[in-house]
Amino acid sequence: MPTNKQARIAEDISRELSAILRELKDPRVTGCLLSVVRAEVTNDLSYCTAYVSTVEGLERSKQAAEGLKSAAGYVRRELGRRLKLRHVPQLIFKPTDSIEYGASISKIINGLDIPEAPKEDEDADL
């Protein structure tokens, strides 16, 4: 279970990674709607695993993760400048399909035919 410090740093890293991703010029990263789903840091804060996802699916997320892996040095340096950490964790990017999965679940829920409950007459109570 992460401590408060780990959770706070993971949230800060996730927020700053989202901002840094918008500034990258790698076509594998910029050609899609990329989002940092969550970030996890180790107990000693030496490694950070960032889970990234795209709306286009898992294959596109894998391509984006490869682009981020090649830009990991730049991203780590930018994190160090923005967060003022004593030791900036080594970044590991893992692709996930959580955005696509969430969109498909939302589509299924919206497609359900659920009848509305009948409304009671408010005047009948008076």
pLDDT interval class at 120 (50, 70, 90): confident
In a domain, 121, yes or no: no
Residue range(s) defining the domain that contains residue 33:
4-100
How much is the pLDDT for 97? 84
State the pLDDT at residue 124.
56
Tell me the backbone φ, ψ of residue 122, rounded to 5 degrees. -70, -30
Q: Would 29 be classed as within a structural domain?
A: yes
What's the whole-number mean pLDDT along residues 6-35? Answer: 87
Q: Would you state the torsion angle of the CA atoms of residues 46, 11, 95, 55, taken in this order, to the nearest 10 degrees? A: -160
Q: Which of 81, 70, 83 is nearest to 41 (CA)?
A: 83
Question: What total of structural domains would you count in the chain?
Answer: 1
Q: Which two tokens stand for residue 2?
A: 């992460």
**What was the pLDDT predicted at 126?**
57
**Within a domain: residue 43?**
yes
Beta strand pairing call for 47-54 and 90-95: parallel
Fill in the DSSP letter of residue 32: S
**Chain Cα centroid distance, residue 88:** 19
- Tell me the average pLDDT across 39-62: 89
- Cα end-to-end span (Å), the chain: 55
Provide the 3-class DSSP secondary structure of residue 119: coil
> What's the CATH code of the domain at 58?
3.30.300.20
Confidence of residue 125 (pLDDT cuts 50, 70, 90): low
Q: What pTM, to 2 d.p., does this model score?
A: 0.76
Q: Note whether residue 82 is domain-resident.
A: yes
Tell me, yes or no, whether 94 lies in a domain.
Answer: yes
Please report whether residue 66 resides in a domain: yes
- Written as six digits, the tokens of 59 are 């294959």
- For the segment 88-105, the average pLDDT, to the nearest whole number, is 86
- Interval 83-107 mean pLDDT: 86
